[in-house]
Structures are given as structure tokens and as C-alpha cells.
Structure 1
Amino acid sequence: MDGVTAVHEAYRAHYRRLVGQVYALTGSLPEAQDVVHEAFARALARPARFLAVNDPETWLRTVAMNLARTRHWRQRFLDRLIRSGRAGPPDDHPGLSPDRVALMAALRKLPRPTREAVVLHHLADLPVAEVAAALDVPVGTVKARLSRGRTALARHLTDEPISDERTVRYA
């Protein structure tokens, strides 16, 4: 199989899943789609290199996450421009289901490192060890971030007060 064919097959196999993961990370579906498309474009730019990759989905996820991080920092710069009055605010996102909006809002409240761990583990279904490798942090750090992230999400997503932060009530 040639590299271009490998990229096309990877697109069919992994595109939707990667968009879902990056969407949960960024909170913006168009941005997630754009970042994942850019990751595939980079694979197509060097198909022989992509063919040599052991795990295409992991490679694409890493590229997409790095692109999302870069965009995050650029967005922070734009936000500073808006606050300074040198640029106008961006348009709002199109309507989404209330549950999706609540989840994305809760995820956005988490610190970025915690959000990345939660998205990779719970939405990308990666084991803790793979999350640690993807984020280049120790396994214990990932476990701590996941614990803090679940507690914070429970607090943000429930209508009832949580008496013990370690106990999450499910309806």
C-alpha cells in the first residue's frame, strides 16, 4: 500500500473519532474539524513518512492536539486584542443541544492540562498510560488530573450540591 492510500484509509477509519476528541478539547466543532483536516493534510504532504508511523491514529491525534494548542495561544492573543479595543468580538457558535453545551461549558472551566487528560481518557478511551505518554507526563499526574477533572465536572454539571467531593450521585 502506498502512503496516500494509507492516509485515505486512516481518514475513513479515524476522522470522526478524532473530531469528537478535539471538539471536546476545544469546545468548537468547526475548529475541531479544521484542526483534524490540517493533521490529515500534513500526513498527505509526506505520505511516505505517514506510512512509516506505527500507530496512525495516535500520530494524527498528536498533530491535531498540537495544532489545537497553537490555536489556543493565538486565540488568547486575539482576546487581548479584543479587550484592548483594537479588534471586534467573534460571532457566537451555532446552536447545539443543551446537554452538549453544558458538557462543553463544563470542560472549558477545567484547566487545560486537566481537560486534556479528561478528553483523552474518557472521550478518546485511551488507557491512563497512553494518556501519560501522549501528554508527556507521569502516570500519577494523569491520575491526579483525572480525579480533579471528574470532581470539577460533577460540580459543574449537577443541579444538586455534592456533599462529599469524592461521591458523585447518578440519577
Structure 2
Amino acid sequence: SGGDCCATNTNLSQGTFYEGAVTAGYPSDATDNAVQANIVAAGYGGGGGSTGGGSTGALHAVGAGKCLDDPNSTTTLGTQQQIYTCNGAANQTWTHNSSNELTLSVGGSTLCLDANGKGTTAGTKVIVYSCNGQTNQQWNLNSNGTVTGVQSGLCLDVTGASTANGALVELWTCNGGSNQQWTLG
């Protein structure tokens, strides 16, 4: 944080803070911490870039400590997605774009996270499919840490709250469980 760059418990001169940018001096620790909290709440974090008006990076399953993973970097349409130990590979790098799609680039293809069969019921498989702009491929990254399907309103969910590699991902009624908490980046 800007105010504590040089000595413990020492703030340099208070600066001017305007619309998320320091225009002069250094922000206070309180200002810096508030801005960082807002950045995290908005779904942005370290390690994630930005493309197409959105964020790019691993989609972390908070409760499991793993990442949303396209099994074996498959380009087979209809493959149900899983969680797996985070490894920084392309099959775990998702982009939330300006169309609210979560896309993945693997094997020369760009695929979208998709509610299988345009499903709107708890237990619907979450798969990869060719991007088509339909609402079953649009996802809200919410400030409470959930990812919800635009079409269904249901939460992206690790089945059975599993923490194991290979645990499948589905849509489920939002319930506040840690298996429905996600961070991108």
C-alpha cells in the first residue's frame, strides 16, 4: 500500500484520491485498503488480465482450493467441466468477456461455458460448447462470490461440495455454500 512503502506504521504525506486514482501524494492505508477491497469485490484480482471488457485467469473454486478445469484440454463439445489442482495451464484460463460469456481457448478453439441443453433446473451439467451468444452461455460474476447463469439464475456449483480432483461442476440452487464460491484471476 502506498502509505507504508518506507517504514513501519508511517504514512507519507496524504495525497489526493479521485475516482480510483491517486492524483498526488500517497493514499492513506485506510483508503488503500478500501480500494483493494472494492477491487476484490468487483471480481478483479492479481494474476488476471483484462480482455474484451472482462477479466482473464483461473476460476478458483474457493471451497475446494482448486480451479475450474476443462478435462485433458478437450475440445469435445458437451464435455462436463470439473475442478482440478490449479496449474496455470490454458485449460484452466477463463475469460469473462463483455458478453458475459466465460470462454476458454484450447487446441486452437474458443469454447464457452454452457448450461447443458439450456437447462434451468438444479443438477444441470455445466459443459463446454461452441459459443453461440445464447443466455445459457452467459454468466454473472456476483459480488457475493457466486457465479450465476443468466438464463437459469442458478449457481455454478461443485457437485456434492467435493474437494477432490475430478469433481464435476453443475448448476444448483444458490445456498451460500463454499462449493458455490468462485474468484476469477
TM-score interval w.r.t. the shorter chain?
Answer: under 0.3
If the length of structure 1 is used for normalisation, what is the TM-score? 0.24
Structure with the higher strand share, 1 or 2: 2
